[in-house]
């Protein structure tokens, strides 16, 4: 395993690693104060361990997957903070007192190599200004850390996405200080768009995605990139063990300080229309209009509650407000004569939010479409649909 000093020649200096290691898996306090230049090990490998993360059964094309990461565990925070703070103090001088950004990034691609995620999880940013007599003076030293996050949220699992490629990289940009929050927001917007391309998107959304992709590329342009944890395969299926990446720092005495990054996956089967997907879209011929009234949501071992009852008796005041509308429609009456167009729009908005709280993102859209088909003649359908037309059109429901 190659150990490379934080310097302009990141890949050139090699030292033999020591046997002394701190925080293997669960971090512990360093036995001594970190001093001198700190180095980092490159080209590490992912390890696997059984995770207690909840997973449900799912097969390709019948459900969704979410991928999350976490840096260390809750009792590791003080230890990790010390290592990162030490790096923040020593990095600027290491790079010759210039401005710079040093980022540890989680990268995920599909089996075809299409980039889905480029998430900055740790970033060190510093700026320098020329002081009196041209001595360099530190103006700003920033260490930003995102302890955990969701990098892919409810992506439809297909043959293209049932296996993903994952790695952790380090990127160095000299003479350029980048805002960590901007990097994270851009990364999240990009990932949402990249995952959404596996479902049919309205043509109007494509230029937006292209623009975010361009911004992401601009942020990392000119960076020196090295593999911190080599690319490995992540299987998107229930029971796949959690991936664990060990980011390892080494002090001049040869002692190692390990920061574990855990990568977990959660799958969610489509509860309503497991066979209704066709090329990323819902097959409307396989979705019954009666589904809104008959769908059962599991609430315990072998027990289920109808979706209508769950929404009507919710503790959320907004969801409860839909009860009057649902009671009127299910009994065969109409809704909206007294409430007016604005009232219909408000109650349908509450219903849509309720569906999203109990169902996966795309199942919620399918169920709302079922509701409109079933009861659209008993209320102002256009007012009820409102601005959600694009969301339903994106999955072939309008």
Contact 37, 45 (CB under 8 A): no
Residue whose C-alpha is closest to residue 372's, from 396, 351, 357, 354: 351
Domain boundaries, the chain: 3-269, 277-394
Residue 25 scores a pLDDT above 60: no
65: CB partners within 8 A, 6+ apart: 58, 152, 154, 155, 157, 161, 236, 265, 266, 267, 268
Tell me which of 234 and 15 has the higher pLDDT.
234
Residue whose C-alpha is closest to residue 61's, from 139, 136, 126, 156: 156
Model confidence band, residue 48 (pLDDT cutoffs 50, 70, 90): low
pLDDT for position 16? 25
Q: Across residues 196-201, what is the average pLDDT?
A: 59
Which percentage of the chain shows pLDDT scores above 90?
18
Which residues on adjacent β-strands are paired with residue 49? 242
Dump pLDDT digits (tens) for 249-281: 887 788 888 888 999 888 877 777 767 776 667
Contact 44, 248 (CB under 8 A): yes
Which percentage of the chain shows pLDDT scores above 70?
75
Residue 141 scores a pLDDT above 70: no
Q: Across residues 152-167, what is the average pLDDT?
A: 83
Q: Across residues 80-92, what is the average pLDDT?
A: 79
User: How much of the chain is in helix, strand and coil states, percent to nearest 5?
Assistant: 35, 30, 35
């Amino acid at each position: 395993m190659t150990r490379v000093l934080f310097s302009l020649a990141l890949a050139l200096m090699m030292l033999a690693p020591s046997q002394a290691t701190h925080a293997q898996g669960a971090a512990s306090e360093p036995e001594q104060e970190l001093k001198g230049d700190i180095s980092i090990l490159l080209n590490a490998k992912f390890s696997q361990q059984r995770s207690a993360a909840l997973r449900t059964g799912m097969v390709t094309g019948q459900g969704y997957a979410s991928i999350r990461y976490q840096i260390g565990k809750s009792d590791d925070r003080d230890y990790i903070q010390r290592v990162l703070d030490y790096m923040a103090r020593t990095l600027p001088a290491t790079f010759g007192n210039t401005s710079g950004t040093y980022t540890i990034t989680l990268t995920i691609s599909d089996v075809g190599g299409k980039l889905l995620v480029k998430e900055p999880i740790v970033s060190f940013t510093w700026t320098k200004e020329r002081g009196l007599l041209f001595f360099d003076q530190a103006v700003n030293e920033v260490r930003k850390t995102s302890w955990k996050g969701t990098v892919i949220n409810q992506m439809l699992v297909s043959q293209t996405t049932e296996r993903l490629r994952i790695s952790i990289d380090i990127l160095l940009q000299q003479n350029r200080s980048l805002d960590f929050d901007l990097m994270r927001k851009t990364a999240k917007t990009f990932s949402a768009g990249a995952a959404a391309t596996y479902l049919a998107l309205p043509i109007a959304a494509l230029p937006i995605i292209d623009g975010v992709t361009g911004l992401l590329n601009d942020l990392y342009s000119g960076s020196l990139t090295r593999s911190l944890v080599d690319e490995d395969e992540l299987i998107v299926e229930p029971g796949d063990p959690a991936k664990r990446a060990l980011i390892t720092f080494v002090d001049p005495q040869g002692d190692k300080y390990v920061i574990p990054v855990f990568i977990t996956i959660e799958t969610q089967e489509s509860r309503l229309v497991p066979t209704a997907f066709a090329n990323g879209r819902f097959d409307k011929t396989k979705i019954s209009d009666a589904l809104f009234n008959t769908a059962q949501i599991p609430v315990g071992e072998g027990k289920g509650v109808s979706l209508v009852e769950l929404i009507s008796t919710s503790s959320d005041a907004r969801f409860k407000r839909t009860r009057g509308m649902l009671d009127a429609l299910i009994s065969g009456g109409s809704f909206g004569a007294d409430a007016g167009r604005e009232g219909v729009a408000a109650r349908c908005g509450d219903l849509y939010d309720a569906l999203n709280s109990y169902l996966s993102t795309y199942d919620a859209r399918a169920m709302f479409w079922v509701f409109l088909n079933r009861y659209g003649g008993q209320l102002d359908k256009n007012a009820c649909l409102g601005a959600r037309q694009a969301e339903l059109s994106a999955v072939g429901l309008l």
